[in-house]
Structure 1
Amino acid sequence: MFVSKPDDIKVEEWSTKLPTNHILVSLIDMNETKSGQKLCTACERENETESACSWCVNCSEALCNTCDRYHRKTKATKSHKLVSIDDHEKNDIPLKFAEVFCIEHPEKRIEAYCNDHTAVCCMTCVMLKHRKCDNVGSIEDAAEEIKRSDEVKEFEDKLKGFKTSLELFVQNRVDNLQNLDSDIKRIKLEVEILYKELSKHLEELKTNFLLEIAKIEKEVKPEIEEERDEMKYKIAAVDNSVALFQTNMKHAPPAQFIQAMEKLTEQKTFLENYLKDQSKKIKDSEVTFNTNEKLLEMKNVIQEFGNLNVHHVHRSDTDVMLAPVVPSVSMRSVEPILSSEVYTGLDVEGIALLEDGQVVLSSRDTNTVEIRDPNCSDVLSKLSVQGSPRGVKMTGDSEGAVAVRGHGLILFQVQNNQIHKVSEIQADVNYDFVYHTGRYYIGYGNEICIYNRNNGNYSKISEISVYNEVGYMALRDDSSLCYTVYKDNSVHCIGMDGAPVFTYSSKDLQYAVGVTVDRTGFIYVCGYLSRNVHQLSLDGKLQRIILNNFTNGPNCLTFNINYEKLAIGCWHNVLLYSLK
């Protein structure tokens, strides 16, 4: 599925060189057996059709009555374990993996592994080609060492990360289709209102205009749907890879396990390249409508309702859909090592990190958003705002926004370390917001208000009622969001539709404020008065208190894009950690 055929070889010849996937063959055979479809494997090779009555565990083949008798008599196979098809259907026998033989010496089993050449080998290979190698060991020891390595422990998480990325791409396509439908419905409504005002004289123009809309809808939506369906197909492929990986981890002998891991690694590389390519290619489609103002002035000069434009926009947030590169450390046991603590002279309310390491700070006492160098010591530029800035987040590589209490969101851009205001969203806001698939989710009172862009401007389209006054917020990769409630020291996770996922509270978490999420979905929340940071698992249980005994209470925190650094704002100070 993920291997490309060389140009200098025929398909038939190339396919014979591919290794047999014994696990997949066994699973297919088992499924066929359960479905009552299994025929004698040996007879099928001779183009004969006979129903199978038994199963050879050693050969992983079904046998008819005749082949069963000869299988029991032949010297090479008489010691094989044969079971009835009925027992095989009931899964009364374990899955048998075929032995793996040397490519250069087909009659020899793989028994050793050379670490110097990272190659599996038979004993003949060891004697002929690896006599001078210093690190040749048994295939069993090599497989166990690989299984114990951090890379293999996190390999399954990486595959699941691919699935998560693909699901996010699919959700992006679904959201774009919904937004496109919303755009079209809104435009149609505007057309109807305008049509009623201009009477029957505009009937022909109206008809032509609606046909143009229908044409755009017909041309644009199938492209998005095709992209969505392609992503779903890739999800199914990743599911197969995950199942294959899990089966190998549990049952495969060492040689089969290493062989399968090599193939899965090729699949992993393909998926990485595919996802990177899709993140650059994918574009959102929008339909906008500009009313012809002359319609309201003189009907005699009107020749059209207006003009329609379809915008294919690459959202910077689609880059975030990529499964992040898995670092060599596990977030479950990562230890933050304090790199530096810097006195900023600000009341730090929000913190973010740019891709190149620069630190973004919002300060309520100076009413500014500052860009600082990676050490947070030098101010590179600043943006003054009207009001008290709180939570700040980057919504793209160079785009970001800051919540200004009582005013709304200020959207900004950072170029060459200089911060510039781009626009603003007039909205009521408590402390924070999240950005998801082109929409802003802004916390205000006991609601999370959703703002969508229409004709270049953002307007409120709906709201989600929540448990209590929304504090700081964070978006999770599974399309849910978290928010803190400082009044009762709690953290809440809800779906993007408002459905509750979990609630966390603890006597050891006092005055819950800043919250962020790591690459695995673990949640980190600041206890300002308890002076600690809690790490929560995917289901909202306390994993551990990852940091404790701050001199000043932690107020806000964030990871960098590769999850190698953690930045925490503690009143006037900023603490920078490396993750080991």
Structure 2
Amino acid sequence: MFVSKPDDIKVEEWSTKLPTNHIVVSLIDMNETKSGRKLCTACERENETESACSWCVNCGEALCKSCDRYHRRNKASSNHKLIEIGADVPNDIPLQHADVFCKEHPEKKVKAYCNDHSVICCMTCVMLKHRKCDNVGSIEDAAEEMKQSDEVKEFEDKLKGFKTSLETFVQNRVDNLQNLDGNIKRIKLEVDTLFKELSKHLEELKTNVMLEIAKIEKEVKPEIEDERDEMKSEIAAVDNSVALFQTNMKHAPPAQFIQAMEKLAEQKTFLENYLKDQSTKIKDIEVTFKTNEKVLEIKSIIQEFGKLDIKRSEAAVTIEPTVNNVCMRSLNPILSSEISTGLDVEGIAVLDCGQILLSMKAKNTIQLRDHNCSDLLSKLSVPGSPRGVKMTGDSEGAVAVRGHGLILFKVKNNQIRKVSEIQADVNYDFVYHKDRYYIGCGNKICIYNRNNGNYSMISDISVNNEVGYMALCDESSLCYTDYGGNTVYCVRMDGTPVFTYSSQDLRFTIGVTVLLYTLK
């Protein structure tokens, strides 16, 4: 059964009139409606712009508030499934059944599925292109087989995993917003507190100056006023003397006149001495104020309360990618450094600052060198042949000393200092994870846990070979080499095997490092 193309229309134009693939449209539109980006489809046909509030599953269209109301009232669409934009999409959404047409022959429906080419096709394609294929069957059987396959189930799990990851990101953004609000609130409070403290301090300085001014007024002004009043009294006395002199000049008998002049002469002498004394005694008093230069410089020096800085760091969100296999390739060195010491380098560790730690087994020492390995900064002697060396913290590290144990050390100010040690019959290397040391001892991986500041063995993992060099893979697994063999083993922290990798190139391996590792 097929539908013929009308004679008066081109294939390209006719194909646009074919029924919509509602499954694909539904997936796209569901995503858009949930994110709230959709405009009303019905209004857009009339060149109008209205924000959609719902989505019709049956029509595959977004509807605004007005169109939603009429859509529900219309008899033809009254039973359609409408979903509010932003709401969770239910799992029981009915999909419209639409015919699917062949890509090679648009006028014909698909009828078969070729397993050899993994493609759906019409009967014409089966006869022309797939007649030699061995695995051509019905679409129904292919779809049913596909639904039961592990790949489809895994695909569903991945989709759900994507949702979980996105929800993790959303929660991270929510947490970041809350933290940001807290930071802004704290900064505002800090600025306000600083302003109040500065204002309080300036107000105290102002009060001190005002109190000092009041003290000066109280002490100095009365002194000047007393001198003024005293001199006014002397002026009054002089006025009396002048009046007495004039009266005696006109009316006093000779004897009385002479007697009066003698008294006036005495007063004259007193006034001369008084004026002479006052001319040197009285002082002009002036109060000045010299502003503290630092106060004057405040406006020019202090242009801001502080600097605001926006720091962007990696979000604390982890997404676990999956890989189907482990790929180990040969790498070419991008940097080499010759250490002109004539010593054997057994282990290497790099500090965050770029400095390099080397375990030198010939001289039983650990060397701290600069980032080019050219300058020796410090060294630490150990009681045996040092092998694997690793940093276990920002400045803490450890080195495996064969047959002796682990020497725990600290690097500070370009110096290496021994902190403590763990007694163990160590082979070559160790792994540090969550305050535990996993040490290769013979055919075992011995696990040491910290207790009251000291490390003691709590368990061990037995293996079938001598444990060589070791590295941490992820939070739950580690890998190690069989020293002298050609295999790398990966096991869980409880000893459960994960994978093995063998190669003739792996002989007497000295060191193993995990660059990127994820478990499926």
TM-score, length-normalised on structure 1?
A: 0.39
TM-score, length-normalised on structure 2?
A: 0.43
Q: Quick one: higher RCO (CA 8 Å, sep 6+), 1 or 2? A: 1
Greater CA radius of gyration, 1 or 2? 2
Question: Which one has a larger percent strand, Structure 1 or Structure 2?
Answer: 1
